[in-house]
Chain A
C-alpha cells in the first residue's frame, strides 16, 4: 500500500514534467528518480517528531516496567523513579524458580497453538463449504455464523461453566480451547468467506475432473490459495489468544497453574505482592507478541485491512 501509491503519484508528476516521454519506460527507474527528488518538508518532519513523542508517551508504562524488571523490590518502592544500576536477570530467574510462571507459559502455549491448529482444521473448510453450497443455505449459514460476532462471551459464560462441569472438563485446558474455538469461528468465517468469493471455481472443477476427491481438491488446490487469509487469521488469533485473560480466568481454577495472565493476576492478588516479579512477568508476556509481530508484520497489516477498505 505505502509503496504503490507514491509511485503512482510520481508517475503522474514525471508525465507532467516531460510529456514527450513514453509511459512504457521502465517504472523502476522513474520511481527511484522520484524518491530522490522528494524533499523533507517542514510539515513532514513535524509529523515525525509528534509521532515519535506520542509513541514514547504511550509506551511509558511498558518502558517503566522494563526498567523495573532489573531492580529489587526495595529499590522500586524506595525510589520509584530510579533507574536500574545493573542489568542482571535475577528477577527473570526467580520468576521461574519461585512462581508457577514456567508452567503457565507452557499452558498458554498449549492453548494458543492447540486452538489455532483446530481452527485451521475446521474454519477454512467450513467457509469454503458455505460459499460453495450455494443458494439460500449459503446465506443462512453465513448469517448464523456472523451472528456470533454480536454475542459477548459474558452471555454464554455461565451456561458454559455449567456444561463444562457436567462433562468433567471444567478446570482443564481443553475447556479453554473449546470455548475459544466457538468464539473465533465467527470471525474466521467472516474473513475466509470474503476471500473465497474471489477464488475461481474453474480450477477446482479441473482438479475434480482429474479424479481428486472433494476433500483432496480442497486441501491441495483451494487451501494453498487461501494463504494470505490464513496468515492474517493465524496472526490475529495468536495475539488474541496469547493475550486473553477472561476465558482462562473463568475456566481454570486453582488446580491449574493457569495461563500467563492468570498467573500474574494471582501474584497481584497476594497480600505480599512482589512488584519486581510482576513487572518482570508482564514484560516476558510481551516477548512472543513482539516476535510474532516483527516476523509477520507484512501479513499482519494486510490482514487488518482485508475487508476494511472500501472500493
Chain B
C-alpha cells in the first residue's frame, strides 16, 4: 500500500520502472503457491462442473454429455434429499450444540483465578483425538453383542434398554448427533475464552455497580461483545458440518440402507463405490452451492448483529 503511494509521488519514469520490477519480483514470489492452488483446487473444482454434465463412470475413458439430467436425477432422488436432511441435522445441529457447550466451558474457565492454564490444557486434551479415532473407538463401545454400553445395561438388569445403536434406523441419526457433540469444543472453546478475556473489565464492573445480576451481565454485556467470536465459530463449525464424513464411514457406512448418509458420504459412495462419477460430481456441485450460500447468508446475518467495538 505505502509503496504504491511512493511510486505515485516519485518522478514518473523511475518510479513506475521500480514499481514494475517490484511487481514482477512479487509475482515470482506468489507463483509457486498460485500454481499449486490453481492445479489442485480451482481447476478440479471447475472440472467437477464439466464431469457433472456427463455420464462418466469414473473408470472407462469413454463418456457422453447428458446435459443437466444428473441434476434432475439428484433433485428427484429421495436418497439425496435424505442425505441433505441428515447433513442439515448433523452439521447445523452439532454446530449449534458444540458452540453452546464451548461457550459454557469457556465461561467456566474464565471464572478461574487459579490454575486457569492447567484447566485450559486438560479441557483441550480431548480435542486432540481426531474424529476418525473417536468414531473407531465408539464403534466398538456401541457394538451390539460385546460393546461395553450394551453389556453394562444387561448386567444392570436393563436388557430392554439395549439397542443396536448404529444399526437401528429409528435412532441411528440421533446417536450420530450425540457422538458428534460429545466434546468440550477444543478450538471453539479457546476462541471463546480469548474473546471473553478481551471483554473490558470496566464494562462488567460498571454493570455490576448498576445492580445487574450475573445472568444480566452476561446477556447485556458479555454476549453482545462475543458476537464476533460467535460469527467465526459458527461459520467454521458449519463449514465443517456440511462435510461430515469420517464418522459416517466408520460408524454406519451410511446404513442401515441409506438412512444415515450425509452429502459428503453420498458423493464418495456414488462416485467411487457405485461407479457413477458424473452423478457424484453433480452432487458435489450442489454441495458447493449449499456451502457457499449458507456461509454468505450466515455471515451476513451474524455480522449485522455484531457491534462495532
User: What is the interface of chain A, defined by CB distance below 8 A to chain B?
Assistant: 1-2, 5-6, 8-9, 12, 38, 40, 43-44, 47-48, 50-52, 54-55, 58-59, 61-62, 64-65, 76-77, 80-81, 121-123, 125-126, 128-130, 132-135, 137, 141, 144-145, 148-163, 178-179, 181-183, 185-186, 189, 201, 214, 218, 239, 242-246, 249-250, 261, 264-265, 268, 275, 278-279, 282, 285-286, 289-290, 293, 297, 301, 304-305, 308-311
Of all chain B residues, the one with the shortest Cβ separation from A8 is B201
Chain A: minimal CB distance from B276 (Å): 10
Q: When the two chains form their complex, are residues A160 and B44 in contact, meaning their CB atoms are under 8 A apart?
A: yes
Q: Among B4, B32, B263, B271, which residue has its beta carbon within 8 angstroms of that of A135?
A: B4
Given A185-B33, A293-B124: A305 and B140 interface contact (C-beta under 8 Å): no
Of all chain B residues, the one with the shortest Cβ separation from A125 is B29
Q: When the two chains form their complex, are residues A44 and B32 in contact, meaning their CB atoms are under 8 A apart?
A: no
Kindly state the separation between the CA atoms of A181 and B40 in the bound complex, as whole angstroms.
8
Kindly state the separation between the CA atoms of A157 and B136 in the bound complex, as whole angstroms.
24
* Total B residues in contact with A, Cβ cutoff 8 Å: 103
Q: When the two chains form their complex, are residues A282 and B195 in contact, meaning their CB atoms are under 8 A apart?
A: no
Q: When the two chains form their complex, are residues A185 and B37 in contact, meaning their CB atoms are under 8 A apart?
A: yes
Kindly state the separation between the CA atoms of A28 and B146 in the bound complex, as whole angstroms.
58
Kindly state the separation between the CA atoms of A56 and B142 in the bound complex, as whole angstroms.
19
Q: When the two chains form their complex, are residues B267 and A268 in contact, meaning their CB atoms are under 8 A apart?
A: no
Q: When the two chains form their complex, are residues B137 and A65 in contact, meaning their CB atoms are under 8 A apart?
A: yes
**Can you list 16 A-B contacts (CB < 8 A)?**
A48-B119, A58-B126, A58-B184, A81-B155, A123-B33, A126-B33, A154-B268, A159-B44, A159-B45, A159-B48, A181-B36, A182-B41, A264-B132, A265-B250, A309-B191, A310-B229
* B65: Cβ under 8 A from any A Cβ: no
- Using Cβ atoms and an 8 Å threshold, which residues of chain A touch B131? 243, 245
Kindly state the separation between the CA atoms of A8 and B201 in the bound complex, as whole angstroms.
9
Q: When the two chains form their complex, are residues B277 and A64 in contact, meaning their CB atoms are under 8 A apart?
A: no
- Using Cβ atoms and an 8 Å threshold, which residues of chain B touch A61? 129, 134, 137-138, 141, 182
Q: When the two chains form their complex, are residues A80 and B148 in contact, meaning their CB atoms are under 8 A apart?
A: yes
Q: When the two chains form their complex, are residues B195 and A51 in contact, meaning their CB atoms are under 8 A apart?
A: no
Q: When the two chains form their complex, are residues B291 and A150 in contact, meaning their CB atoms are under 8 A apart?
A: yes
Chain A: minimal CB distance from B182 (Å): 6
Q: When the two chains form their complex, are residues A48 and B112 in contact, meaning their CB atoms are under 8 A apart?
A: yes
Kindly state the separation between the CA atoms of A141 and B35 in the bound complex, as whole angstroms.
12
Q: When the two chains form their complex, are residues A156 and B295 in contact, meaning their CB atoms are under 8 A apart?
A: no
Given A61-B134, A122-B32, A214-B25: A148 and B124 interface contact (C-beta under 8 Å): no
Q: Among A76, A144, A305, which residue has its beta carbon within 8 angstroms of that of B191?
A: A305
Kindly state the separation between the CA atoms of A142 and B277 in the bound complex, as whole angstroms.
32
Kindly state the separation between the CA atoms of A251 and B272 in the bound complex, as whole angstroms.
11
